[in-house]
Amino acid sequence: MKKRKWIALMLAAAMAVGSLTACGSSDEGDSGDTTTQSTQGGTSGGTESADGTGYVVPEEPVTIKFLHKGPEPDGWDAVYEKYLEMTSGSEWDLVFEASWVQLRNLAPEGYYADLSSYFNNPEEYPGLAAAFSPETMESNIWFDSMCYIPLFEVYGNGIPVVWYRLDWAKEWGIGTDGKISSYDEMEQYWQAALDAGKIAYGATQARGFFQQLSLRGEVYPGSAEAGLQQFSSAGLTVWTYTQDNELLAYAVEGSGDEAFADFPEGWQYDFGVDRYEQFAEWQEAGYIDPDSLSCTDATTPFESGLSASMVGTLDDYISMKDAEATLGDGAIGFFVYVDGIRNMEEGAIAVDYSGNNGLCVPANSEKIDYTMKFLDWLFGSQEAHDLFQLGIEGVDFVYGETEGTYETLTSYSADFGGYGWTWNPTYALISTAYEGDALSYREYEYDSSSFSSLPILGFHFDTTDVDLSTAVAQCKAVTDMVSVIKLHGITTDGNGVTYDTMAEMLKANVDSAMENGGQEVVDALIEQLEAFLATKRQ
């Protein structure tokens, strides 16, 4: 994800569905023509609206302050003329949040308001009901509170691919006219690149081989169907085996085959270590950039003319097409490295329907109803959604000839950062820049039938207890010794100890981690998980 600055927005609230719908197409600002409802006492006076909903038309516009993650995009002023004004402040009515920000710490403390009454409530909040299914919101309950509004355009994290020089693959006679469709062909390509004096695999951001040989580093072919799911904390990966909301077995990845003895047939071994062993083989073969551990570049390595491939997702397609401006048309191809996804199988993408990014409403806000009415409008129509995410139609973007597509005219949508405010599967559109196989995979990714559910939905591990958080920190200090190097296939740990195999290094690290807070972490996770599953059986 791109590094973004934080911006503070103050929304001159115009909440009623009727009047707000008009502001998406009107050339006049509508912030003074507003209707809303509040039980919070955020404004005094007002009259009941005529639509029978009981919403109150305030005498003065209501201001909602939003802490958003992203820069001010070019063209923002034009959107402001439709709806917004900029400001800064210290008390917020809406904030960008995520598990990787402060959600795990603040949600269990009750910092954020429970929003359950606003969702699955189509009579009063039809926009929220249309855009956020009950199943999705149930999967995003954090510590018994529906305080988190998930933002995503698709339920997964993008179709995982290896980007590579298609023109070189053609030249070297690999794949079908250069199109790589298996790991065997990918290894042939890497070897040919090495023989040609190229860097076979150029790592970005020191990610190494990243999530290859898996889906997101979390799912393997058939694992979800077998009732397997992993939960990570303090650098430990705990695999669980459940059926009908009963925890039947669990084991820590890297702890050895015997720990998995009670797992279902076909999974009674330390299966998660296999891909790291493969990474070690690729490292020994010399496929990865020798400087991969120190890489901080987040851009495409193809520009140097030395790298033959890099890991990414289909989301990178437009930037790859931009790179072809200097490399030549058709210079870059992609290998979808998860078999089920490459074959576009139904349900191949197992997910927990949680959002990496989202929104929260501080519990101390006096304008919760106003804020939710604004969001109800924002997610209430394609027009409202597209105004914020894409900008002004005809100025910042136009709709494509094919339904469900759009073409950008300015950088507004790229600068805005919809991942922090507007992303939603109901309104996700496909850029007209996608063509050929990339378009086919994009359409597959936007089809809800491409996804299936992981066995456990909605569980979040609470580590805010002081003693537990101390154990987490102690354990992580140990697991950090291998957390990055294992992704690069390196079998020398952070203490400088070299092992014959990846399995040996991970076993030694897990054993040490369990003695240094890890056992407390695992015990607490399992205790919380069992309590959570018990509520699902009621």
Q: What is the pLDDT of residues 270-306, one digit of tens each?
A: 999 999 999 999 999 999 999 999 887 666 678 888 9
Q: Predicted confidence band at 133 (pLDDT cuts at 50, 70, 90)?
A: very high
Residue 70 domain-assigned (yes or no): yes
What is the predicted pLDDT for the residue at 45?
47
Residues 386 and 314 in one domain: no
pLDDT for 388-406, tens place per residue? 999 999 999 999 999 999 9
Residue 345 domain-assigned (yes or no): yes
Domain holding 491: CATH number?
A: 3.40.190.10
Residues 183 and 106 in one domain: no
Residues 203 and 296 in one domain: yes
Place of tokens 């909903």: 53
> Which of 93, 38, 90 lies closest to 63 in space, CA to CA?
93
Within 8 A by CB and 6+ apart from 187, the residues are 282, 287
The last residue of one of the domains, among 433, 462, 495, is 433
Q: Which whole number is the average pLDDT over 71-97?
A: 63
The last residue of one of the domains, among 399, 433, 467, is 433
Q: Amino acid letter at 461?
A: F
Rounded CA gap, 342 and 359, in Å? 32
Residue 439 domain-assigned (yes or no): no
Rounded CA gap, 57 and 38, in Å? 10
Q: Predicted confidence band at 466 (pLDDT cuts at 50, 70, 90)?
A: very high
Residues 521 and 474 in one domain: yes
Residues 140 and 22 in one domain: yes
Residue 449 domain-assigned (yes or no): no
Helix (H) or strand (E) holding 68: strand 62-69
What is the predicted pLDDT for the residue at 468?
98
- What is the value of pTM for the model shown? 0.85
- pLDDT above 70 coverage of the chain, percent: 84
Q: Indicate the average pLDDT of the chain.
A: 87
Residue 160 has pLDDT above 60, yes or no: yes
Q: Which of 28-42, 88-102, 515-529 is the least confident region? A: 28-42
Residue 444 domain-assigned (yes or no): no
Domain holding 30: CATH number?
A: 3.40.190
Residues 302 and 197 in one domain: yes
Residue 523 domain-assigned (yes or no): yes
Residue 53 has pLDDT above 70, yes or no: no
DSSP letters, 205-267, are TT-TTTTTTSBTTTB-TTTTTTTEEEEEETTEEEEEEEETTEEEEEEETTS-GGGGTTSPTT-
pLDDT for 22-51, tens place per residue? 222 223 333 233 222 333 333 334 555 544
Phi/psi class of residue 271: alpha, beta or left (left: φ > 0; alpha: ψ in -120 to 50)?
alpha
Residues 163 and 145 in one domain: no
Residue 365 domain-assigned (yes or no): yes
Rounded CA gap, 185 and 283, in Å? 17
Q: Is there a contact between 235 and 486 (Cβ–Cβ < 8 Å)?
A: no
Residue 19 has pLDDT above 90, yes or no: no
What is the predicted pLDDT for the residue at 298?
62
Residues 375 and 385 in one domain: yes
Q: Predicted confidence band at 538 (pLDDT cuts at 50, 70, 90)?
A: confident
What is the predicted pLDDT for the residue at 52?
45
Residues 266 and 300 in one domain: yes
The last residue of one of the domains, among 402, 433, 464, is 433
Residues in the chain, overall count: 538
What is the predicted pLDDT for the residue at 35?
29
pLDDT for 404-434, tens place per residue? 999 999 999 988 888 889 999 999 999 999 9
Tokens at 493, concatenated: 């740990």
pLDDT for 216-258, tens place per residue? 999 999 999 999 999 999 999 999 999 999 999 999 999 999 9
What is the predicted pLDDT for the residue at 39?
32
Residues 200 and 264 in one domain: yes
C-alpha torsion angle, residues 149, 223, 521, 260 (rounded to 10): 170
Q: 426 exposed, middle or buried (CB, 10 Å; 0-12, 13-18, 19+)?
A: middle
Q: Which whole number is the average pLDDT over 175-200?
A: 97
Number of domains in the chain: 2
Name the residue range of residue 102's domain.
6-154+353-433
Rounded CA gap, 273 and 7, in Å? 42
Residue 442 domain-assigned (yes or no): no
Rounded CA gap, 92 and 255, in Å? 45
What is the predicted pLDDT for the residue at 26?
28
What is the predicted pLDDT for the residue at 69?
66
Around Cβ 47, how many Cβ atoms within 10 Å?
10
Residues 17 and 141 in one domain: yes
Residue 6 has pLDDT above 70, yes or no: no
Residues 460 and 507 in one domain: yes
Rounded CA gap, 352 and 451, in Å? 10
What is the predicted pLDDT for the residue at 310?
94
What is the predicted pLDDT for the residue at 43?
36
